[in-house]
Amino acid sequence: MNEEEKKSKKLWQKLLAPYLLMVINEETFEERAQIRTSKVKIIIVSIFLLTLFSGIIFTTISYTPLKEFIPGYDSSELRKKAVQNLFLTDSLITIYDQNIKYLNSVRKVLTEDISYEDSEFSEKEIGKQNLKKTSKLISPVVEDSLLRAFVSQQDKYSPILSEELKINTFLFPPVKGTVTQPFDLNKSHFAVDVAVEENTPIKNIADGIVVFSEWTAETGFVIIIKHNLGLLSIYKHNSSLNKKQGDIVSAGEVIAMAGNTGEYTTGFHLHFELWIDDYPMDPQNFFNFSNK
């Protein structure tokens, strides 16, 4: 047996050597208890107790409010607010994107920049088969077909909007006068120009809210009103505006005075546009501008 084996054997003998622990009364020297043990048992019991206490401490800190007292650990209230802020931020981003899209639509209306390929009113939505059948009997007006398709789509999913449509079916003509330039898609003239006298009252066509009321260099004083069902009405070249952005206006209410303002004006007249979901409509299909 070599030297290393002798040392190893002696070590195990020391670890396994039995010991007797006695509990004695100090005053009477009366023996109260005896415990037989060894160094190996003491080590095993110590490891077990250390593991047990560590598990109890870990469980207590992890699943009780005590963990909030640990430096650097976020409180439950703080984490709750962080989650709420995350959802709020996501909602704000969604609203921001919607507003950007809407502002871009208004910008396109003001600059008369429109792409018919992006229009929501595709030939499929209107109903290709229905148009083929009705075209044999009568040549339909495109704007009327689009409006009917849009209204029927709204009626299908919302009875409340259907009631609103009945209320807002009667549109007020913005002004009476002589149409000097009609609606013409080929010439990118998405409006009718109605010649009137200076300061003739311009009336709102339906209930809505003013989304734009400012001066522009090209078209003078411009006011844009958003109505129900995606309807947008635009009034340009006014001499003055009676309403500001954010005002709620009623049908037939005077919103501006006719004028001759802006670089593109050709005399005292109203440049009137009518849009439904970013698609321009011919106003003469909805209004009679004649004084007669």
Provide the whole-model pTM: 0.49
Work out how many domains the chain is built from and give that number.
4
Instruction: Please tell me the predicted confidence (pLDDT) of residue 196.
Output: 94
Range name among 143-147, 160-164, 230-234 with the lowest pLDDT average? 160-164
* Length, in residues, of the chain: 292
Within this chain, do residues 39 and 16 fall inside the same structural domain, yes or no? yes
At 158, the pLDDT band (50, 70, 90 cuts) reads very low
Strand partners of residue 233: 225, 274
Answer yes or no: is 68 within a domain: no
Contacts of residue 236, defined as CB under 8 A and 6 or more positions apart, other chains included, come to 191, 219, 220, 221, 222, 262, 270, 271, 272, 273
Q: What is the mean pLDDT of the chain?
A: 78
Contacts of residue 9, defined as CB under 8 A and 6 or more positions apart, other chains included, come to 1
Say which CATH number the domain at 207 has: 2.70.70.10
At 32, the pLDDT band (50, 70, 90 cuts) reads confident
Domain range holding 220? 178-285
Q: Is residue 195 pLDDT above 90, yes or no?
A: yes
Within this chain, do residues 26 and 51 fall inside the same structural domain, yes or no? yes
Return the percentage of the chain with pLDDT > 70, whole number.
Answer: 73
Answer yes or no: is 43 within a domain: yes
Q: Is residue 151 pLDDT above 80, yes or no?
A: no
Instruction: Please tell me the predicted confidence (pLDDT) of residue 63.
Output: 74
Structure tokens at 212: 């734009």
Q: Is residue 255 pLDDT above 90, yes or no?
A: yes
Q: Say how many C-beta atoms besides its own lie within 10 A of residue 259's C-beta.
A: 23
Q: What is the pLDDT of residues 206-248, one digit of tens each?
A: 999 999 999 999 999 999 999 988 899 999 999 999 999 999 9
Within this chain, do residues 185 and 263 fall inside the same structural domain, yes or no? yes
